[in-house]
Amino acid sequence: MDINKKVIALVSCLGMAPALWAVEKTAQEAAWTWVVNNIVVVIGLGVILFAFYALWNTFEAIIYDKRRQVLAEQGIELKPKEYVQEDSVFKKMYDKAWSLVPIDKEGEIDLGHDYDGIRELDNRLPPWWVYTFYLTIVIGIGYLYVYHYSDIGLSQQEEYSEAMEEAKVQKLKFLFAQSNAVNETNVVALSDEKSLQEAHEIFSMKCASCHGKQGQGLKGLGPNFTDQYWKHGGGVKNIFSTIKYGVPEKGMIAWKSQMQASDMHKLASYILTLEGTNPPNPKEPEGDLWVPENNTDSEAN
């Protein structure tokens, strides 16, 4: 296999790899815009590889010709090097891509400027460069239509809005995970209105039947939450622990299997706020007087 076939094989492999990857990705996501983007990448990769090969071939030719000139001055003749076969497809593509003026006709495009032996020629821009420029115009028009005038692709503003919505969802998931990481060793009392309002609703549904709607306690059932006496210890940590593990011997179930840690956190904080509310017909104090050891037991963080 000669150098030209190797280069063609390399370009083909490098070009097909992203294309096959694009097909697999498209089958999974069915994203039309994703396919378009990868087609552009494949085309661009092919153009870049071809341009690099052409430049490398050109510089090699310049160096070889310079060597021929030096050897010719010493009386040694070196035949011109044929880099590719004259009848090969790649040679024809190369000639069309560069459209170089033959050396014996350079005089026709010589601008008459000579700088240290380097002549300035009025060469045309290489066709590969010109057509690539035209291609970028076509791609630009297509991009403008797809992303700004049609419903096929999302504009930058739409992508930004979509990303922000997704970020909000991820943030809520993170906060939810964090809120449920609380336990009886690190819990502190909450004071924000939203949390306490949610806790009030939880209390009404799950606790009022035993402790009264206002936390005043009910005879024969749950104790009073509005005084300073506690049967299993006051403060947010003890209350959270009691809610979580329950008091089975007294008939109170363990809520850890039925309630999120975040809800138990809110509920324990809400119960603290009931102290000193003086509801009608409160149940007699039970347990021991609780004196908070620090502000986390009675105040919100």
Question: What tens-digit pLDDT sequence spans the chain (301 residues)?
Answer: 344 444 444 445 445 445 544 444 444 444 566 777 778 788 888 878 877 877 777 777 778 777 777 777 887 877 666 554 556 666 677 777 777 777 778 788 888 888 888 888 888 888 888 888 999 999 899 888 888 888 888 888 888 998 899 998 888 777 777 667 788 888 888 888 998 999 999 999 989 888 889 888 888 888 989 889 898 888 889 999 999 898 888 888 899 888 888 888 999 999 999 988 888 888 888 888 888 776 545 443 3
Per-residue tokens: 296: 């986390």
- The H or E element spanning position 288 is strand 288-289
Whole-model pTM: value is 0.45
Q: Do 137 and 249 reside in the same domain of the chain?
A: no
User: How far does CA 98 lie from the centroid of its chain?
Assistant: 42
Structural domain of 205: 193-297
Q: What is the CATH number of the domain that holds 262?
A: 1.10.760.10
Q: Do 81 and 215 reside in the same domain of the chain?
A: no
Residue 8 and residue 90 in contact, taking contact as beta carbons nearer than 8 Å: yes
Residue 182 lies in a domain: no
For the chain, how many structural domains are there in total? 2
Q: Do 210 and 144 reside in the same domain of the chain?
A: no
Q: Do 9 and 145 reside in the same domain of the chain?
A: yes
Helix (H, G, I), strand (E, B) or coil at 114: strand
Cα–Cα–Cα angle for 8, 9, 15, rounded to 5 degrees: 90
Residue 176 lies in a domain: no
Q: Distance between CA atoms of 242 and 287, rounded to whole angstroms?
A: 14
Residue 102 lies in a domain: yes
